[in-house]
């Protein structure tokens, strides 16, 4: 009986090792294939780049175009100081600047990591008729010259259009991009700016 028990235990142990060995082999194969798929799906990334550095043309476009878009929003937010006493407008302006300046820094860091050209600080690369929500120099000049309730009206109207353009750009990144971090930022932009649009629409009445 003891001999049969020992032999049974040995057989069970050997079976366990065989199962583990098969599991390891089967796990390695799909993972290897997955790694190859990740590399092939990101032709713009450097060979051997980590998954976090994976990117495609849509990611690059998102970073290069969202940077000047954010820069203009930050510029518009800064205009509120000294031109309005409306606490809700001032609060919104402060929130926009606080959220978008760090995102601009992150966008620049990604482009550097990806070996891509730095984003343009100005608006030269933006197509004002493309639905991006970018203001023209004339728009910005008129806003700068306004004050009080007229400033509030212009600022809220322009910022709503500006936010809608950012949301459209962010949605394109969510659907077409491949960098997980960039897509996460895009989702945050959609959520945050949609809430701000609703707040600004309430202020306009």
How much is the average pLDDT of 148-159?
A: 98
Q: What is the reported pLDDT for 13?
A: 42
Mean pLDDT of 73-92: 98
Architecture of domain 51-204: Up-down Bundle (1.20)
- Mean pLDDT in residue range 158-182: 98
Q: Which two tokens stand for residue 42?
A: 């990101």
Say how many Å lie between the first and final Cα of the chain, rounded: 89
> In the predicted model, is pLDDT for residue 22 greater than 60?
no
Cβ proximity of 89 and 203 under 8 Å: yes
Look at residue 12 and tell me whether its pLDDT is greater than 50: no
pLDDT at 69 over 70: yes
As a whole number, mean pLDDT of residues 126-145 equals 82
Residue of 193, 175, 58 whose CA lies nearest to 116: 58
Q: Does residue 43 have a pLDDT over 50? A: no
User: Rounded to an integer, what is the distance from CA 130 to the centroid of its chain?
Assistant: 20
158: which residues sit within 8 A by CB, 6+ positions away? Answer: 76, 135, 139, 143
Sign of the Cα pseudo-torsion (195, 197, 203, 205, in order)? negative
């Amino acid at each position: 009986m003891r001999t049969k028990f020992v032999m049974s235990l040995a057989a069970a142990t050997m079976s366990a090792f065989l199962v583990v060995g098969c599991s390891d082999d089967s796990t390695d194969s799909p993972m290897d294939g997955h790694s190859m798929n990740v590399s092939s799906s990101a032709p713009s990334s450097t060979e051997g780049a980590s998954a976090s550095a994976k990117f495609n043309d849509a990611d690059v476009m998102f970073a290069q175009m969202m940077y000047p878009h954010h820069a203009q929003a930050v510029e518009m937010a800064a205009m509120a100081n000294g031109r309005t006493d409306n606490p809700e407008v001032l609060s919104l302006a402060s929130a926009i600047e606080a959220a978008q300046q760090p995102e601009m820094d992150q966008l620049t860091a990604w482009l550097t990591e990806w070996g891509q050209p730095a984003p343009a600080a100005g608006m030269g690369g933006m197509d004002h008729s493309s639905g991006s929500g970018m203001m023209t120099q004339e728009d910005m000049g008129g806003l700068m010259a306004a004050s009080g309730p007229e400033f509030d009206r212009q600022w809220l109207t322009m910022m709503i259009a500006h936010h809608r353009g950012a949301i459209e750009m962010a949605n394109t990144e969510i659907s077409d991009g491949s960098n997980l971090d960039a897509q996460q930022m895009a989702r945050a932009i959609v959520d945050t700016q949609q809430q701000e649009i609703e707040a600004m629409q309430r202020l306009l009445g």
